Structure 1
Amino acid sequence: MSKTVLVLVETVDDYLPLLENAGYRLIHAKTPQSRAEAIARHAADIDAVLTRGPLGLTAAEIHTLTHLQIICVIGAGYEQVDLAAAKARGITVTNGAGANAGPVADHAMALLLALLRGIPQADASTRRGEWNRVISPSVSGKRLGIIGLGAIGQAIAQRAEQGFAMSVSYHSRTPRREQPYTWYDSPQRLAEAVDILVIATPGGPGTRHLVDASVLAALGSQGYLVNIARASVVDTEALVQALRAGSIAGAALDVFDDEPAVPEALKALSNTVLTPHVAGQSPEAARDTVALVLRNLQAFFAGEPVLTPVTL
């Protein structure tokens, strides 16, 4: 018997035939209205849900989906999936850890370069017919700090160290002894020691506002912030205040608290670079993400361990 997958994501359509060709029946529900309708209409048919961190799956939805057995989250973050409800039902949850690490790390470095070298401002100025040869900081040799040293953090560290001769430090809950980088036991101590702070840790209650006013103050007036993880990790109000006051030099952000809404305060600032949560999006990442989902589904329904389980 074929299994039915409710697809809530909207970014991997080109590669969903990988699932269909493997015999899975897909129900697409990419808007809040179609999602509610699909869950109500097909509650007894849905065996699996494909979602992403910000879209999640609520306790009420899990309760309604009486035949649900597995939730597959694309990307590393799963902050809006109700893990307690999944655990209570014995539902397996997987994520896409590592599947898009390369593109996200590429985007982090692109944001970093654009921010420090003033690329967007220089482009806009040149298009206006101006010739403003602004002196911008070098990137090579800077001290880089990374909050979160998972697959994405490691990919960023590798690019920074090998490509730009940067010294790399990091903060995580515990030291990664197998990694050659310097560990700090708090975000504040890390921020004090670096020129650029990159956020690469998952979202959720455990990391909410991990980067607050005190961490930004420690980063200092010559310091830069790059966030390609989750907006919730950074206190946005404190960040805006720091950027306005010049307490930090600038920020590059790919994630926001209420997407797709971007705070006007951030858009009005000249020391920000903003992109619409696209760090993990590339044809290669989409293909690899769906391929990982397929491998997890195949393993699960064969009674084998899934590849990337989320601890419930």
Structure 2
Amino acid sequence: MIPAHLNFAHLKRCVSILTVLEAKGVTTPLTKRGDQLFGPCPLHGGDNPNAFVISLSKNLWRCFTGCDAGGDVVELVRRLYGKNYRQTAAFLATLAATEPTSQTASSLQPLKKSFRPFTARLHLNASVPWLRQKRITPTTARRFEVGAYQGGGFLKECIAVRLHDLDGHPIGYAGRCLDPQKAKQCGKWKFPPRLPKNEILYNFHRIESCHRNGLVVVECPWGVMRLAQLNIPAVALLGIHLSAVQNDLLKKVSPVVLMLDGDRAGQEATVRIRSALEPYTKVYTITLPSGLDPDDLSDEALSSVTRHFLF
């Protein structure tokens, strides 16, 4: 029984089971089925993918093998860390108080009230022909947590790409539709409902501390991955519009190399974004031939055109 003098009710509302697992460094992939997540039990180990079950709506967990335990986030902390109730309260209070403090990160908060991040890790196949055609190696795909998704939902028949906020916290997946007809009707890319897409700078959290010599800005994740294979820092706008948050981040980088898609929309966006950034930093543009995207170029061409401005 939880002691009445400790206010766990508030802490249980503020801290999710997933937050506790992430704080412990538990990175075992979890599979989502409806409102539940399944995976190996972090308490007793093993590799049974159905041993540990989390109810997302109730914030409860249960192990069906090994330790045969279950409960709320309080009981998980006590068992996972071996803490007493007072220590558990202090630990949960620390997690509850952990909020983004930077100006750019805090600007996400109003949108996050209506957007519920999906933090579980999906099982993805990184070795698929579509990625090979993009010249993205399985090693790169695994690093960026990208691959074919075999389940249902809005990612069905898609190449899934894991997304993170500006602080590197996972917030869900985008999907590149593989069905040409569906892509033509509904668009190539699918995003979670109410995703604050215009306040995400894809891959920024991975290179934030190592872009002193500048970076390349592209439209979509494939260009980022191709450039990463060449050790060239890059971020993606996930579109052709530059938001205030993205502008605040990029104007602190020098130089910024814009290499958007070679279609009319990409060319017009290049002019618009360059105009927005030039008062604050040095900006170069790479204009691609009509119909070509950065990931359509060979490694030699990608390296040649970008390193000319960055190194």
- TM-score, normalised relative to structure 2: 0.28
Question: In terms of Rg, which structure is larger?
Answer: 2
TM-score (norm 1): 0.28
Higher RCO, 1 or 2 (CA under 8 Å, sep at least 6)? Answer: 1
